Amino acid sequence: MTKLRVAVLSFAHGHALSYARILQRDPSVDLIATDPDGSGPDRGRGAADELGVAYVDSYDDAFAWGPDAVVVTTENSGHLALVERAVQAGIHVLCEKPLATRLEDGTRMVAAAADAGVRFMTAYPVRFAAAFAELRRRVADGELGRVLAVHGANNGKMPGGDSWFTDPELAGGGSLVDHVVHCADLFDALLGVEPTTVRAVANDILHPEIDGRVETGGIVTLQYPGGVIGTIDCSWSWPDASPTWGGLQLEVIGTRGSVRVDPFAQHLGGFEATGPLWIGTGDDLDEAMIAEFLDAVASGRTPQPDGGAGLRTLRIVDAAQRSARAGGAPVAPA
């Protein structure tokens, strides 16, 4: 059997290591990685060696290897160039979220992938949580009655103090960019419509050490057709002292009742000598997401969440940023 050739492009995003680990142990995949823009000369090769993944020195080398698919996990601002290069070469793409730092870049990427007829998937692993799937089924079957409100909170520690996540150029913004999209995507999957109005307020009270380079806290309010309302708390508000990175809570309120979903809640809680202990026991959502991507590539179908989902959620981020910049004026998504 011919193996699927997959290249992981950059370890800039921490999720890349998880994706590489999962791909590496998949017997149907032949994997290489490259990380030419790494902070130190050894970041990429060191990580690849540790994972037992073949390493090449440049994106040129990676493309020359002739991958069938690539995983794009650069800084957010780097997605566009690599995605365009890949799809133009007929290579399928799994792109880390958010798709781009600017809405027009996301639009270009999705159009380019469609023109090239390749599979283009956005990395939204929470979609694959069994708890979310059950919620989605209940909503679709009308078991909650008419949906009135969807509430999401995606809070976590701020990604490493000096990292590109707090660089407005490389990341495209702060917590509004990093943490609105997951909840926005879950709402998209549940409701099947885009919001008509987006309103956001943000501040930089958390993590004063980054001197207000980007927003660290934010609250987004959404209105959907049919009167459904939504909220997203996207703040990097989980204290550094927390034994876990953070989490995502989702609540759907319908006329017949409500459901709360907390996909990262499953854990052993306790204490070790130095403080609280948290051992996650939930499913590996990245694994399910990678499986969907590989299956879609193998069978020639559109993966979900696709580039369109990535673009619709990017539209919400774009609107939230515009609203926050306008001091909290409600805006329509572009």
Partner 1 sequence: MIERVGLIGAGGVSHVHAQAWRELGRTVTVYSLDGAPELARQYGFELADDLDEVLRTSDLIDVVTPTPSHREITVAALEAGLPVICEKPLGATQADAVAVAEAARAAGLPVFPAHVVRYMPDYAALKAALDAGRIGPVAIARWWRHGEAPGAGSWFHDESAGGGIVRDLMIHDLDQALWQLGEVVEVYGVQSGASETGEPNAVAVAVLTHASGAISQLTASWGPRGTTFRTGYAVFGAEGMLRSDSDRNGPYLADVPGDAASSGYMPPQTRAVSPYTAEIAGFLDVVEGREAAARVGVDDGVAAVALAELVMQSIAEGRAIPVGRVDAAERESGELR
Q: Which residues bind partner 1 (CB under 8 A)?
A: 145-146, 148-149, 151, 153, 155, 197, 199, 201-203, 205-208, 216-219, 221, 223, 227-229, 231, 233, 235, 237-239, 241, 253, 255-258, 327-330
Sheet of strand 147-156: strand arrangement = 197-203, 217-223, 229-233, 147-156, 246-254, 257-261
Secondary element (H or E) of residue 34: strand 29-34
Secondary element (H or E) of residue 321: helix 307-325
Please report how close the Cβ of residue 133 comes to partner 1 at its closest, in angstroms.
24
Nearer to partner 1, 153 or 297 (CB): 153
- Tokens coding 278: 């948290």
Coil, helix or strand at residue 78: helix
Please report how close the Cβ of residue 292 comes to partner 1 at its closest, in angstroms.
32
Residue 36: cis peptide before it, omega within 30 degrees of 0: no
Please report how close the Cβ of residue 237 comes to partner 1 at its closest, in angstroms.
4
Whether 63 contacts 85, CB under 8 Å: yes
d(CA 70, CA 66) in angstroms, rounded, equals 10
Nearer to partner 1, 10 or 216 (CB): 216
Nearer to partner 1, 105 or 233 (CB): 233
Residue 305: cis peptide before it, omega within 30 degrees of 0: yes
Nearer to partner 1, 79 or 151 (CB): 151
Q: Who contacts 53 (Cβ-Cβ below 8 Å, separation ≥6)?
A: 8, 20, 24, 31, 32, 33
Please report how close the Cβ of residue 101 comes to partner 1 at its closest, in angstroms.
24
Nearer to partner 1, 192 or 227 (CB): 227
Please report how close the Cβ of residue 3 comes to partner 1 at its closest, in angstroms.
46
Nearer to partner 1, 23 or 198 (CB): 198
Please report how close the Cβ of residue 109 comes to partner 1 at its closest, in angstroms.
32
Please report how close the Cβ of residue 334 comes to partner 1 at its closest, in angstroms.
19
Q: What Å distances lie between residue 186 and 16, 125, 127, 168, 320, CA to CA?
A: 22, 10, 6, 25, 17
Nearer to partner 1, 39 or 255 (CB): 255
